[in-house]
Amino acid sequence: MRTSEIARKTAETDISLKLNLDGKGVGRIATGVGFLDHMLTLFTRHGMFDLDVSCNGDTYVDDHHSVEDIGIALGQAFRQALGDKRGIRRYGDITLPMDESLILVAVDISGRGMLCYNADFRTEKIGTFDTELVEEFFTGFANNAGITLHIRQLAGRNSHHIAEGMFKAAARALRSAVSADPDSMDEIPSTKGVL
């Protein structure tokens, strides 16, 4: 069973996170950041991952530390749950419409963490949430999961739709990449023999 549990405590955040890659899309999300709760609920459902996450963070300062550290913890959970990555498809991609927005996401579970991100939010905030924190979340996630993650906004005007499209698309691309490859169940999908 591909599960993991992460506890991350710093002077700024205290995070508890459980992940099941082979879940039913059930989330119990309490990050202290309302918009991130919404995005992670979508991520969980569209990825068909089970995710329990709670965070006690210094949101009296702003949401930055909580959002970044949850991205880090979720990335660590993915890396841990995937183990040696034997039998996975490795790659996943999708071009996902969210109303007027159109988001492309491609992922390679490569063992090398990198985010390639291109977005043009027209507002600095979605409610009280800083739109620049979307990139911070995915940077922490990609680096700590050890994946190459491309996120590109192809169209869009509404900041909420753009962000929502990114989380849904990332989840669906990851769902494909972590899924079992029936043609190579006992193999690591790399000519190097390791990812």
- Distance in angstroms (rounded) separating the CA atoms of residues 112 and 155: 28
pLDDT of residue 141: 98
Which helix (H) or strand (E) segment holds residue 91: the answer is strand 91-98
Q: Which DSSP string do the residues of 12-46 spell out, in sequence order?
A: SEEEEEEEETTS-S-EEEE-S-HHHHHHHHHHHHH
Q: Which DSSP string do the residues of 95-159 spell out, in sequence order?
A: EEEETTEEEEEEEE--S--EEEEE---SSSEETTEETHHHHHHHHHHHHHHT-EEEEEEEE-S-H
**Sheet-wide strand order for 27-30:** 3-9, 13-20, 50-57, 27-30
- Taking the model in full, what pTM does it have? 0.96
Q: What angle do CA 71, 73, 79 make, to 5 degrees?
A: 105
Question: Please, what are the domains in the chain?
Answer: 3-178 (3.30.230.40)
Beta bridge partners of 91: 108
Q: Which of 117, 94, 108 is nearest to 169 (CA)?
A: 94
**pLDDT, one tens digit for every residue, the chain (195 residues):** 899 999 999 999 999 999 999 999 999 999 999 999 999 999 999 999 999 999 999 999 999 999 999 999 999 999 999 999 999 999 999 999 999 999 999 999 999 999 999 999 999 999 999 999 999 999 999 999 999 999 999 999 999 999 999 999 999 999 999 999 998 888 888 888 788
pLDDT of residue 194: 82
Q: Which of 55, 58, 60 is nearest to 8 (CA)?
A: 55
CA separation, residue 92 to residues 9, 85, 110, 149, 166 (Å): 32, 14, 12, 10, 14
CA 142 vs. chain centroid, Å, equals 8
Neighbours of 7 (CB within 10 A): 10
pLDDT of residue 70: 98
Q: Which DSSP string do the residues of 50-78 spell out, in sequence order?
A: EEEEEEEE-TTT-SHHHHHHHHHHHHHHH
